[in-house]
Amino acid sequence: MSFEGILSGLEYAISIEGLLFVLIGVVVGTVIGMMPGLGPITAIAVMIPITYGMDPVSAMVMMAGVYYGAVFGGSTASILLNAPGTSSAVVTAFDGFPMAQKGDAGKALAISAIASTAGATVAIVLTMLLAPAMASVAVSFGPAEYFALLFMGLMLITTLSEGSTIKALISATLGFMAVTIGLDPQTGTPRFTFGTSSLLDGIDFLVVALGLFALAEVSHLIINRKFSRDKNEDIGSLKLSKTDFKEMSGPMSRHSLIGFFIGVLPGAGATMASFISYILEKRISKNPSEFGKGSIKGIAAPETSNNAAATGSFVPLLSLGIPGSGTTAVMLAALLVLGVNPGPLLIEDNPELFWGVIVSMFFGTFFLLLLNLPLIPYLAKILLIPRPLLISLVLIFCLMGVYTVSFSTFDMFLLLGFGVLGYLMKLVKLPAAPFILAFILGGMLEQNLRQALNISNGSLDIFLQSPVAITLIVISILSFVMPFILNRFYKKNNINTGDNK
């Protein structure tokens, strides 16, 4: 670990710029994350057009803030409305909402805020240790190893995603197909452009992210547009007693570690971490019957875990340049547009970015604690924004986001097309995350494969001779077996992982 690097990151993080952008990030993330139906990918995609004029460090620090802010904010809606703001907060509603109904909403929010902070803080420290180590291993990777790594990331995310594995694979294949549209970067051959020049540059990932996520999620809001919260609801006291703290400390220490490692794994993100932690906590509990009725541990465990996992997912992104989830994939694509090439060399070439992002997470987490503890009664008022107003504002945000980046009405029509596609995919339960992931990784995957085979002159030996590549490919293939094991695990514990919205 280089201390000079950490210092340069710290220098950025405590500068006025650094503090300002992390604050903007966490506030925007919390607010969007609180809106039921709008998830972290939407939050980041909406912010991307704004980052295009910024320097890469500030942009990345802000986007990271949006991500963990959204994970934080998602639980507020879970507790107050029983309508999770994000999928990673679905489990929080199991115990958070019953506690709120007993009149202890404030207590539930406080537990969630403290557990989230603990999870995030432990995970940041672990990230500082693990990310540089992983980067130093990956420095020697060539195209063959990168292909294997990308392949593994894609396979794991697909096979570990919720619901039907076949559908997740279909979604990933469609995403990969969408990215083959445009000029082939290696030979310059136009592919699937149907003779139009508008498609030569391919489809911008922002169009896909905003359409498939933001617009599709808005359609969910349009259907539920009548929903409104009772205005006179009181949150109650935010104070926790000593016994409450005692009860939280166990799950907080356990699940910050579990959540972090699940987050580092490609494919398993904050949502899965929260489910696994909840199940484990229930299993080791002395009285599992209190789970689901407003248990303190039932809130603390998933909240610690999902925030630790959100932080952990930055490890593969910053050290390998491989996104571990749909959300980090969108961030990766945004970084590439800003001219940063995330990979094992990032820590050497751009220590300010590498360490700036990690160190600023400490400040972001601190701001989130402030936002979520003393300010939560005011913040919760955001949930009172009338739905019709919210829907039209998000629609305009998406349209403007695309237009201000490409100045092309063609791209706006594409956005609409992807919005309709995203909505139809929701209807037939095709998950959207594998699509965006394959869309972003697909191009890199194809390039690395073809480069590797160019080096070996078409022979597959280049993969067989690399132990790293072989191991990774074997893991990817093994991952086909994992869903069956996980399904049995979920069934045994009577947890419904289907669409909980």
Partner 1 sequence: MQLTMNRILSLILLVISIVYIYLSFQLPSYAPAVIDSDAIPKVLGFILLGLSFLLFFDKKDTKMVVDISKKDVFYLVLTVVMIIIYILLLESVGFLLMTSSFLFIATLIYGYRNHLVNLIVSLSFTFIMYYLFNELLMVRLPQGILSL
- Using CB under 8 A, list all residues that contact partner 1: 50, 53, 164, 166-167, 169-170, 173-174, 176-177, 180, 184, 186-189, 191-192, 219, 222-223, 225-226, 386-389, 391-393, 395-396, 399-400, 403-404, 409, 412-413, 416, 420, 423, 427-430, 446, 449-450, 453-454, 457-458
What contacts 124, CB < 8 A, 6 or more positions away?
311, 358, 361, 362, 365
* Alpha helices in 186-295, H assignment, sequence order: 205-209, 216-223, 242-264, 270-284
C-alpha span between 501 and 494 (Å, rounded): 18
Spatial separation of the C-alpha atoms in residues 89 and 306, rounded to whole Å = 8
DSSP-derived secondary structure letter, 200 = T
User: What counts of helices (H) and strands (E) characterise the chain?
Assistant: 24, 2
Rounded to a whole number, what is the largest CA-CA distance in the chain? 71
CB atoms within 10 A of CB 40: 33
Whose CA is closest to 154, among 137, 141, 173? 173
* Least distance between partner 1 and beta carbon 184 (Å): 4
Full 3-state SS string of 299-313: HHHHHHHHHHHHHHC
116 Cβ contact list (under 8 Å, min separation 6): 71, 72, 75, 303, 304, 306, 307, 368, 372
What is the 3 state secondary structure string of 201-225?
Answer: CCCCHHHHHHHHHHHHHHHHHHHCC
Contact 203, 182 (CB under 8 A): yes
Helix (H) or strand (E) holding 363: helix 351-372
Cβ neighbours, 10 Å, residue 11: 14
DSSP 194: T
Which residues, 6 or more positions from 218, have their beta carbon under 8 angstroms from its beta carbon? Answer: 37, 38, 391, 394, 395, 398, 419
* Integer angstrom CA distances of residue 368 from 22, 307, 390: 10, 12, 23
Find residue 183's DSSP bridge partners. 190
Distance CA 177, CA 179 (A): 5
DSSP code of 232?
T
Q: Which two tokens stand for residue 81?
A: 């409305």
User: What residues contact residue 465 under an 8 Å CB cut-off, 6+ apart?
Assistant: none
Both tokens of residue 173? 């294949």
